[in-house]
Structure 1
Amino acid sequence: MTTSSTPSAREPGAEVQIQFEGHRYAGVRGQTVAGILLGNGVRAWRTTSAGERPRGAFCGIGVCFDCLVTVDGQRDVRACLRRPEGGELVTRQHDLLPGRQGEDADNDC
């Protein structure tokens, strides 16, 4: 079995599942984590460092960092690029900005 280097490429017929916030979500092998979440109605899986605003896919091509998640303990994974093999545990990633712990930040990053 060969897998295309294109993150959006699908391999028809092979279902994969990921776990996110206590739910299992199914997708097709070759879909990205972001594709599986979006395909199942999940629109946000990260919050901003300041203001805790919801974020999900923005550029969809790995240029920005709006879709960062943790996959099986590995931080800073771009959900729009990672194609799961199946069974991965995906968790939200939220970090406070340095020097802002406990502050009420109005600016968004």
Structure 2
Amino acid sequence: MFERVEPPDCTITWQDREIPARAGESLAAALLAAGINRVRVTGMSGAPRGPFCMMGVCFDCLVTVEGEGARQACMVPVVAGMRASP
């Protein structure tokens, strides 16, 4: 569905899986380019959520980055070797 315009130049780890990425792009963009469109589930119903607005407004892409929870994946720039999880 989503594809890269430029080739990846680093990798990140999502749930113990190596994902190709480009340094500086948003974590949400890297995940979408890797075919990962569900990054968490809601607490009440368990409904899947993923990147939606891509500009920090909706909070559907909340993830844990380097041990820090409740980060918006669309607002976190990729750094080589970054570790993230739901």
Tell me which interval the TM-score lies in, with the shorter structure as reference length.
0.7 to 0.9
Instruction: In structure 1, give the amino acid aligned to 2:18.
Output: R
Corresponding residue number in structure 2 for 1:32: 26
Selected match of 1:80 from 58, 74, 77: 74
Greater helix share, 1 or 2?
2
CA distance in 1, matches of 2:8, 2:49: 28
SS of structure 1 residue aligned to 2:59 = coil
Unpaired segments ≥5 residues, structure 2:
1-5
- Structure 2 residue 79 is the aligned partner of structure 1 residue 69: no
Over aligned residues, Cα RMSD in angstroms?
A: 1.5
1:1-109 to structure 2, matched below 5 A, reads: 15-92=9-86
Runs of 5+ unmatched residues, structure 1 = 1-11, 93-109
Q: How far apart, CA to CA, are the structure 2 residues paired with 1:68 and 1:81?
A: 10
Scaled by the length of structure 1, the TM-score of the pair is 0.69
Larger RCO: 1 or 2 (CA < 8 Å, sep 6+): 2
Q: Percent identity?
A: 33
Q: TM-score, normalised by structure 2?
A: 0.86
Q: How many aligned positions are there? A: 81
- The aligned amino acid for 1:33 is L
> Structure 2 vs 1, CA of residues 13 and 74 (structure 1 numbering), >3 Å: closer, same or farther?
same
4+ long deviations beyond 6 Å: none
Q: CA deviation at 1:84?
A: 1.8
Task: Tell me the alpha carbon deviations over residues 27-70 of structure 1, each in whole angstroms, 9 at most, x when there is no partner.
Answer: 11221110000001001011111111111111110011100000
